[in-house]
Amino acid sequence: MARRSSGLHNGFLDSSCYMQNNGKILNEQQLKNLENHKYSSSGTTILDKYFQIWWNLVVSFCPSWLAPNTITVVGLLFNIAGTMTLLYYCPTATETAPRWCWLFNAVCLFVYQTLDAIDGKQARKTGNSSPLGELFDHGCDSISMVMVTMNLFVMYQTGSEPGMMVLASLINNGGFYLAHWATYTTGECLNFFGADWNSNIIVFFKENFNFHHLT
């Protein structure tokens, strides 16, 4: 399959591009590619058809004046709140958090997941869908992946296992990176695997291998 090139990365890490583009990060061709970008996704998870009912119900209550990016930011803040609460009680990822913290974290994660799913629906409903909005959404998702990874650190108490922490980071955040790499090269966002699959892989390694010697 031919590589789908958006040109967004060309020269992005090269400081000379600032001089060539009169101080602009993106040149005219890259801005044009961004403007012409169309979101496309393929594949579904097992629970998608059930969650779609919930997501469509929630977005139906969203007023037309509510900006999609506002929904994205609120979801991110919920995710950060849940993680920061856990880290307050488990700063070294070796302590045991109170049970209510896990309930609070689960609620925050569910709210984040819901809002992350409906921000695009709200954008299309209000006619505010744009490539920049998608970029903003995925930027917030990248921050959320850090939050979810730290949740896993606390859940499995990996503070005394630095090797496990490195592996969990690579699996969880690597899966997120590879999904977007696939989107860049194929032009479609592949939704076959999600963070739940990454978490299951981490559980497998945690329960079957000893990482205490990697200190």
- Partnered with residue 75 across adjacent β-strands are none
DSSP 182: H
Please write the tens of the pLDDT for every residue from 45-82.
677 788 889 999 999 999 999 999 999 999 999 999 99
DSSP 61: T
Q: Please state at what angle helix 48-60 crosses helix 99-126, rounded to 10 degrees.
A: 70
User: Which positions are catalytic?
Assistant: 138
Task: Assess contact for 185 and 179: CB atoms under 8 A.
Answer: no
Confidence of residue 178 (pLDDT cuts 50, 70, 90): confident
- H or E element, residue 189: strand 189-190
Is 91 a residue whose pLDDT tops 80? yes
What are the tokens at 25?
Answer: 């990060």
pLDDT at 22: 62
DSSP 159: G
212 versus 27: which is more confidently predicted?
27
Task: Assess contact for 122 and 59: CB atoms under 8 A.
Answer: yes
User: Rounded distance, CA 176 to CA 129, Å?
Assistant: 23
Confidence of residue 3 (pLDDT cuts 50, 70, 90): very low
Is 185 a residue whose pLDDT tops 60? yes
Provide the 3-class DSSP secondary structure of residue 41.
strand
Least Cα distance to 156 among 169, 145, 143, 137 occurs for 169
pLDDT at 9: 45
C-alpha radius of gyration, the chain, whole number: 20
Domains of the chain: 7-36 (no CATH), 41-208 (1.20.120.1760)
What are the tokens at 1?
Answer: 């399959």
- For residues 181-205, give the mean pLDDT: 57
DSSP secondary structure, 133-148, as one string: HHHHHHHHHHHHHHHH
Q: For residue 74, what are the CA distances in angstroms to 66, 165, 179, 191?
A: 12, 28, 24, 23
pTM listed for this prediction: 0.71
